[in-house]
Amino acid sequence: MTDQAPAPESDIPGKPTSASRTTLSHIMTHNDTNLLGTVHGGVIMKLVDDAAGAVAGRHSGGPAVTASMDEMAFLEPVRVGDLVHVKAQVNWTGRTSMEVGVRVLAERWNESTPAQQVGTAYLVFAAVDADGKPRRVPPVLPETERDERRCQEAQIRRTHRLARRRAILELRERRAAKGLDD
């Protein structure tokens, strides 16, 4: 590490949304099932985290770690024999973090029917250097109206995440001040 001050944000060129967008596909097998015989939600969550991590690393140009996952919604069950497609892209970037949006689609591996959306998730990744310290990320450059909408929605989610965190910390401080430290 150098003792130089970080460069202004404008010194890092932005990257278009399409530069890091990716799709991870996987056929679900009996090894992926839960006690109900459908694919375990944790299997889907791992695929989501894998795809989002690849996107975050590609966008930031290096290692990025999962900071949080929120709004993981399972819309339909996934079955053995489904071909699952996990589509991910960077929606928003801050100084050292980025939100990655993920859509999960499933289709029967042996049919030519359209894939059905079965889940969605939003993850926040922090870019880190070799020492695990936060590092700057390039701004994301939305390319379409849909990308722009996703960026605006990500900013709303960020505002809500920060407000929720502040409210919880304030509650804990009030409880501690009353001697209700649990």
What proportion of the chain, given as a percentage, has pLDDT over 70? 94
* Helix extents (H) in 3-107: 41-60
Mean pLDDT of 100-109: 96
pTM of the model: 0.88
Beta bridge partners of 67: none
Say yes or no to pLDDT of 25 above 60: yes
Mean pLDDT of 43-63: 97
Q: Which of 32, 30, 58 is nearest to 45 (CA)?
A: 32
pLDDT band at 104 (very low <50, low <70, confident <90, very high): very high
Q: Alpha-carbon distance 149 to 20, whole Å?
A: 18
pLDDT band at 10 (very low <50, low <70, confident <90, very high): low
Please give the helix or strand (H or E) that residue 27 lies within, else none. Answer: strand 22-27
